[in-house]
Amino acid sequence: MTNEATSAMHGLIQQPVWGVEITIGTRLSMEFGDEMPREPKHGQPHGRWHLLLLNCHWRIEDSKSVLVGSDDDDLMERIPRLHFGKVSKIQLSQPTNDLEIVFDEGLRLVTFLTYSLISSESRQWYLFCPDDVVWIVEGGGSVICKNRYE
């Protein structure tokens, strides 16, 4: 399943990043690619890919320093100051399926698994894809694929 997820994510390479913001708590939302129109009942427009970091820890850094960490107090103010550019590399680290995305303006986003077991609170991150598929990493690092409407 990890190989399939990695293959699906290759579509993100060279996609522009936009709409990076905190939704609530430490939850980071990040859009990739063209904005896709949606029916109003399905909420605001998203990119062709939409990454939602849920209960994982995460960090954004450049080659010299850590720029923002998920436990920082002022996430909502600091995130908008960052410029990501396009995705230049994406991979899943084993065995945890932690996500690493490198951006062409020199930033790097990494996630850190925080739950060893699957539970209602252990969801680490979601990646919504153009074909209505959602890749999900849960506690223990298990990766699953679901349809967004289930």
Partner 1 sequence: MSPDPSGLDYADFSNPQTLNLYAYAVNNPLRYIDPTGLVLCDYGSSDQGGEDYEDADDNNECTSNGGSVVTVQQNITVNANNGSGADTSSSDVSSLISNVANTGSNFANQTLNWLAAPRDPGCMAGYAAGGAAAGAVGGGIAGGIVGGAGGTLVAPGVGTVGGGIVGAGEGATVGAQAGFATGTAVGFIACSKGSGPSSGSTKGRRGNKQADAAKAVAERETGKQMTYDQEEIFHEETKHVDYSEGDVFEQLVQIAIGILQR
Instruction: Enumerate residues 6+ apart whose C-beta is below 8 A from 16.
Output: 32, 33, 85, 86
Which one among 32, 33, 49, 50 touches partner 1, defined by CB under 8 A? 50
Question: Which one of 3-11, 60-68, 88-96, 142-150 is the stretch in contact with partner 1 (CB under 8 A)?
Answer: 142-150
62 binds partner 1 (CB under 8 A): no
Instruction: Enumerate residues 6+ apart whose C-beta is below 8 A from 11.
Output: 49, 129, 130
Give the HSE-up count for residue 14: Cα atoms under 13 Å, Cβ half-sphere: 1
Q: Toward partner 1, which CB reaches closer, 18 or 104? A: 18
42 binds partner 1 (CB under 8 A): yes
Which one among 47, 128, 138, 143 touches partner 1, defined by CB under 8 A? 128
Q: Toward partner 1, which CB reaches closer, 13 or 144? A: 144
Rounded Cα distance, 44 and 65, in Å: 34
Q: Where are the alpha helices (DSSP H) in the chain?
A: 2-9, 75-78
Token code pair at residue 101: 């995305």
Report the greatest alpha carbon distance in the chain: 43
Question: Which one of 1-9, 70-78, 81-89, 98-106 is the stretch in contact with partner 1 (CB under 8 A)?
Answer: 70-78
Site residues (vs partner 1, CB under 8 A): 21-27, 29, 41-44, 46, 50, 52, 54-55, 70-71, 73, 120-121, 126, 128, 134, 136, 146-150
